[in-house]
Structure 1
Amino acid sequence: MTLFLCPILGVSFSSTMASVVPVAYQGNTSLAVADWLNKGDNAWQMVSATLVGLQSVPGLVILYGSIVKKKWAVNSAFMALYAFAAVWICWVSWAYKMSFGDKLLPFWGKAGPALGQKFLIKQAELPETTQYFHNGGVETAMVTPYYPMASMVYFQCVFAAITLILLAGSLLGRMNFKAWMVFVPLWLTFSYTVGAFSLWGGGFLFHWGVIDYSGGYVIHLSSGSPALLLLIGSVGPRSTKDRERFPPNNVLLMLAGAGLLWMGWAGFNGGDPYSANIDSSLAVLNTNICAATSLLVWTCLDVIFFKKPSVIGAVQGMITGLVCITPGAGLVQGWAAIVMGILSGSIPWFTMMIIHKRWTLLQKVDDTLGVFHTHAVAGFLGGATTGLFAEPELCALFLPVTNSRGAVYRGVGGVQFLKQLAGAAFIIGWNIVVTSIICLVIKTVIPLRMSEEQLTIGDDAVHGEEAYALWGDGEKYDSSKHGWYSDDTHHSKIATGVTQNV
């Protein structure tokens, strides 16, 4: 009888006992469990994707609907909800393969659907990610996670969706909703997919070695950089009255949305190793370290210079910390995450609170939620500091280009820092050009800006709905007729002293 040692229990048992293994651990238990499937990786990838999805719906839907003036609560929340739904259909119809499929151009994949069962149930792979040495030998094998393509398509879709939703934050309170309906699929197709393929899907920046662990460039720099062009040249500012006074309509709900955003970032950064491994654990830990540090620094600066700790400021600091750590979440040590948090809590604060208010050009820019500062500035800062602090051993756990390292570790680190700057320049340049073209095209058909009547009234004029029923069950008071009235979708009727539902 053959004896086996059980290291967990510290005992030996016979080969006859070895066959007594729970069914769930015996490998293929059904046709839905392939030889290559790692149930733990697949579970974590789907959980991560769901966490990122929750950042958008309900996270940013709640945050946007609460942080704006009451009259824009419905419109702001709906812009986020619409973008989330629209991206899904575009993603599975053509955009996924443009981002992660076979190469069409060095920065773009071939469009195609991701809907057929043969494609979705096979093992996930990113076909253009095999990394070669200059002599033609394989440096790093193609990315082939141990779960199905369906999980990969799901995970990458929620990243694409949140990018458009973040961009929407700069346009709240004045963009024509019908124009937004057209803008979302066009920008996803011609802007987002290029950045995703170039940096993640096997494009030229991926193979050159530009580091973007989880979207500091692909998502945050992309969503922040075109905002200036949109705001200055195309959509224009909010109404003068809104710019002068724009209080949040529900600070507590705003914090609830911000909390979902923070906790959801565990999936945002923890899911990008495409595996439930040690690198994903480090990424989640660094994410929280940097976000907490940034929030505290931003709050301290508010207290020092404005004498009051701002709740909205704390949320902004939280966001800049989350954004800054994203390009290098699993590649830097804990002390570097703290340094990045200090920088992300101070530099975007300075650009938003000091430079923006003193520079004439930026004063003309009406960035509703400060997306340029919280995402473009913080995203660029994160990419640059990753080029400084990326630790060689951690890089070897994740990056396809061997011997990658940040500048503080010398060697090729200085080159890496320059690569990070060049990668940022490409993303910014491409987005500015493409976004301007998209705006010009849309303007020929649909006005990008709301009408003056809509800007004055808000949600009721744009959607026929309001966030809060101030007079009980939806009744409103008509001061000109000294009476109450109630709306339905067809008509309303004035009634003096009482409410009539028509």
Structure 2
Amino acid sequence: MSVPVAYQGNTTAAVADWLNKGDNAWQMTAATLVGIQSVPGLIILYGGIVKKKWAVNSAFMALYAFAAVWLCWVVWAYNMSFGDKLLPLWGKAKPSLGQKFLTKQAALPASTHYFKSGDVESPMITPYYPMATMVYFQCVFAAITLILIAGSLLGRMNFRAWMLFVPLWLTFSYTVTAFSIWGGGFLFQWGVMDYSGGYVIHLSAGVAGFTAAYWVGPRLKKDRERFPPNNLLLMLAGAGLLWMGWAGFNGGDPYAANIDSSMAVLNTNICAATSLLVWTCLDVIFFKKPSVIGAVQGMITGLVCITPGAGLVQGWAAIAMGVISGSVPWYTMMVVHKRSQLLQKVDDTLGVFHTHAVAGFLGGASTGLFAEPTLCSLFLPVTNSRGAFYGSPGGVQFLKQLVGALFVVGWNLVVTTIICLVIRIVVPLRMPDDQLLVGDDAVHGEEAYALWGDGEKFDITKHGWSDDTQHNAGQLPAVGAGLNAGQMA
């Protein structure tokens, strides 16, 4: 009885001599874990954290973005991010659909790293699995970035405008930062450290979300002042999927099932747990109540902060980064936000600026301090990479981290602004007020629950919609980003 072709190791095209089945299995598993963070993770987190009348719209924005990114990714965006070099910050656009391309060994053609002399310092990245696996893995990262941006725009963005925003921002912003830092572009060649997306994903999403929120405009005044979550348990389920999915988010970025991958997964959990506990303690000290939403915020900022250094730092540094991510974003959200006219003016619905932009920047900067030389040698292409705490040239590395962050911030401010200004020529960025008053039923003709909701009801005597202002009385107001104690950012 013959062995099926698919299991004939190193003897057939189905199992090439370069294929490492363990690496391939882990990479596909990691990619699926990251996908689960979005679908259903952020879908149900968004659906539960917003006011009841926006549950469907918020979840649908995430679902649409996930689907739209997939098609754009395989038709042109993957190679713009990880393909052949077109510019120092951009790859050449071309499809990732052909059999010959997808079945060959994975490779990032622009990733060969050179000494100043022009000699090769480290060879091109060539993981031991097919290009199909690499395209899959990188796509779910691109998708979650767009979904994070949606968190800044919930409760008022015109869905048709969102349909245009997703492919445009993916093409002109995400692909640039991905190629520049990961794909072999100028920041990659310079040695900027971003292990798994603190800059490419979180800093980008936080800045882009805040910028887009400025151009879209705010929610209705009553929604900004009173925006109670409709289902905290559903929100916690989504948060749990986000946390557990981060094992794939950070554990998959060595492109192999290796020692560095294990370090990244462990550090991820250490930092997230520390950050959650610090945030909760601050809530208890200053607001006298432990907030479950605050705990989720602390969890997220911890996960974001460790991401750029997950496999590059020691466990004690992961704890230190957790303390930083549980306290600094808490301070910017609870104190700085209330004192800043700009932050108050821009309606960042879930406070993505604080939880992702601030935390992502802190993670990238602290990686420049804590990156351990031996761990760096397991992952980075630049010889003698190290954080500032480990001596020269670590101080230079810290400055590189700051410059890398400035590039990501500047690019996203400019490109996101241009995209929003172009879209509003075609379709309004913000829903009309009559839709904003009603929510899901007016926008989609659907509602999340066949139950009494958060106050909107049809008043037969007035032949219109009214608001029951007594419903959910006692909820803390959500001014600006919606983030007083007990409210989600």
TM-score of the superposition, structure 2-length normalised? 0.92
Aligned to 1:177: 159
Question: CA 1:477–1:438 in structure 2 vs 1: closer, same or farther (change >3 Å)?
Answer: closer
Q: Aligned residue pairs: how many?
A: 458
Superposed counterparts of 1:325-474, under 5 Å: 325-470=306-451
Change (3 A) 1:154 1:408: same
Counterpart check, 1:295 vs 2:287: no
CA deviation vs aligned residue, 1:329-381 (integer Å, no higher than 9, x gap) = 00000000000000000000000001001122211121111100000000000
Distance (Å, rounded) in 2 between the aligned partners of 1:283 and 1:44: 14
In the alignment, does 2:53 pair up with 1:71?
Answer: yes
- Please identify the structure whose Cα radius of gyration is greater: 1
- Aligned-partner Cα distance in 2 for 1:263–1:105: 37
Q: Aligned pair 1:311/2:292, yes or no?
A: yes
Residue aligning to 2:202: 220
Q: 1:330 to 1:465 in 2, by over 3 A?
A: same
| 1:68-107 paired onto structure 2 within 5 Å | 68-107=50-89
Secondary structure of 2:71 counterpart: helix
Distance 1:26 1:451 in 2: 61
C-alpha distance in structure 1 between counterparts of 2:302 and 2:449, whole Å:
33
Q: Distance in 2 between matches of 1:479 and 1:345?
A: 49
Equivalent of 2:144 in 149, 157, 162 = 162
C-alpha RMSD over aligned residues: 1.8
Give 1:471 shift: 7.0
Residue 14 of structure 1 is matched in structure 2 by: none
Deviation, 1:477, is: 6.8
Distance 1:155 1:300 in 2: 36
Distance in 2 (CA, whole Å) between partners of 1:29 and 1:257 is 44
Unaligned regions of 5+ residues in structure 2, if any? 464-489
Query: Which residue, out of 188, 212, 218, partners 2:170?
Result: 188
Shift of 1:224: 0.4
Q: Letter of the aligned partner of 1:51 in structure 2?
A: L
Question: Which of residues 28, 31, 42 in structure 2 aligns to 1:49?
Answer: 31
Aligned letter for 1:302? D
Q: Which residue of 2 aligns with 1:229?
A: 211
The separation in 2 between residues aligned to 1:481 and 1:440, in whole angstroms, is 38
Per-residue Cα deviation, 1:288-341 (whole angstroms, up to 9, x for no partner): 000000000000000000000011100000000000000000000000000000
Higher relative contact order (CA 8 A, sep 6+): 2
1:274-293 deviations in whole A, cap 9, x for unaligned?
00000000000000000000
**Secondary structure of the equivalent of 1:268?**
helix
The equivalent of 1:489 in structure 2 is: none
Secondary structure at 1:456 match in 2 = helix
The Cα offsets for residues 244-277 of structure 1, whole Å up to 9 and x where unpaired, read as 1001000000000000000000000000000000
Name the SS for the 2:135 alignment partner: helix
User: Which letter does structure 2 place at the counterpart of 1:304?
Assistant: I
With structure 1 as the length reference, what TM-score do the two structures score?
Answer: 0.89
CA-to-partner distance for each residue in 1:420-468, whole Å, 9 max, x for gaps? Answer: 0000000000011101110110010100000000110000010000001
Equivalents in 1 of 2:34, 2:142: separation in Å? 10
Q: Distance in 2 between matches of 1:39 and 1:227?
A: 39
Q: 1:83 Cα deviation (Å)?
A: 0.1
Offset at residue 481 of structure 1 (A): 9.6
Report how far residue 26 of structure 1 moved: 7.2
The answer to whether the Cα contact below 8 Å between 2:196 and 2:250 also exists between their aligned partners in 1 is yes
The one of 8, 18, 21 equivalent to 1:39 is 21
* Structure 1 unmatched runs, 5+: 1-22, 483-502
User: Secondary structure at 1:301's aligned position in 2?
Assistant: helix
